[in-house]
């Protein structure tokens, strides 16, 4: 993964002792399982890059590896560093926020990520869920959406970012270093995730007795002709037991 965003979460794990080290052990021991489903979870586990509590930030995954923490096959997982803030009993929320802001500033500097690409988990649309935008991190959102509290957090991140030299303008264009390599090439243009992102279809349907193309069209909310196109069907006949690819649109 080439990180372009930083996604902030909170664990919503309120048990005593559920601090950064405990989460680290859980991840290492494969305790955080998720159902592995095509188009949803790729690996059968949840994993992210850093967990922060009042005392420490623990890294679980290299920042050039993709996590499973935001939006299944979406850009939040494919392009962002995932940071979880602990919420265990007795852990200071303000110290955790402070430390998370520092870590975020460091990651911005290290990976040349701008402040507007520091986003709450809420930012990423989770396709296929009834509540696509998660109320996460809940205590930095207002009524479940980014508002004054999130701005307050970003201001804190920016303060740390400036304090480590982040005020220097980020390089804008490509240049060639003394080894003849192109550096600071502009990032690959990346569409606004919410509207334009179209993951490749990973949905399938195995034809059962009674299925018709028009019923499948209604069920998956795609047109009959696009199902036909995706499967090379020349008529509306579908064969029992055949696995059909269901396109996204």
Query: Which chain residues interact with Zn ion by CB under 5 A?
Result: 9, 121, 136
CB 141 within 8 A of CB 120: yes
- Smallest distance, Å, CB 205 to Zn ion? 30
**Which residue lies nearer to Zn ion by CB, 107 or 136?**
136
Respond yes or no on whether the N-terminal peptide bond of residue 137 is cis (omega within 30° of 0): yes
- Smallest distance, Å, CB 162 to Zn ion? 27
Q: What is the largest CA-CA distance in the chain?
A: 68
* Among candidate residues 111, 77, 83, 105, the one with its CA nearest the CA of residue 4: 111
**Which residue lies nearer to Zn ion by CB, 75 or 166?**
75
Three-class secondary structure of residue 1 per DSSP: coil
Q: Which strand (E) or helix (H) includes residue 140? A: none
Cα dist. 46→69, 140, 171, 187 in Å? Answer: 6, 22, 34, 27
- Smallest distance, Å, CB 35 to Zn ion? 17
**Which residue lies nearer to Zn ion by CB, 9 or 123?**
9
- Smallest distance, Å, CB 20 to Zn ion? 15
**Could you give the CA distance from residue 238 to residue 233 in angstroms, rounded to a whole number?**
8
**Which residue lies nearer to Zn ion by CB, 142 or 236?**
142
**Which residue lies nearer to Zn ion by CB, 141 or 246?**
141
- Smallest distance, Å, CB 132 to Zn ion? 13
Phi, psi for 121 (deg, rounded to 5): -50, -35
């Amino acid at each position: 993964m080439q990180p372009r965003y930083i996604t902030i979460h909170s664990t919503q794990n309120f048990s005593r002792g559920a601090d950064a080290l405990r989460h680290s052990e859980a991840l290492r021991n494969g305790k955080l399982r998720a159902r592995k489903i095509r188009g949803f979870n790729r690996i059968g586990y949840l994993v992210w890059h850093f967990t922060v509590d009042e005392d420490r930030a623990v890294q679980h995954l290299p920042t050039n590896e993709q996590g499973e923490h935001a939006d299944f096959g979406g850009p939040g997982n494919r392009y962002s560093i995932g940071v979880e803030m602990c919420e265990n009993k007795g852990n200071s929320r303000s110290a955790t926020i402070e430390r998370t802001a520092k870590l975020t500033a460091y990651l911005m500097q290290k990976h040349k990520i701008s402040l507007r690409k520091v986003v709450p988990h809420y930012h990423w649309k989770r396709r296929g869920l009834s509540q696509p935008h998660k109320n996460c991190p809940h205590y930095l959102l207002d009524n479940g959406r980014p508002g004054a509290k999130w701005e307050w957090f970003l201001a804190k991140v920016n303060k740390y970012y400036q304090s480590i030299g982040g005020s220097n303008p980020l390089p804008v264009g490509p240049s060639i270093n003394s080894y003849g390599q192109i550096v600071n090439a502009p990032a690959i243009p990346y569409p606004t995730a919410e509207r334009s992102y179209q993951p490749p279809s990973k949905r399938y349907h195995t034809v059962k007795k009674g299925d018709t193309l028009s019923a499948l069209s209604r069920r998956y909310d795609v047109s009959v002709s696009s199902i036909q196109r995706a499967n090379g069907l020349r008529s509306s006949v579908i064969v029992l037991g055949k696995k059909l690819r269901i396109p996204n649109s």
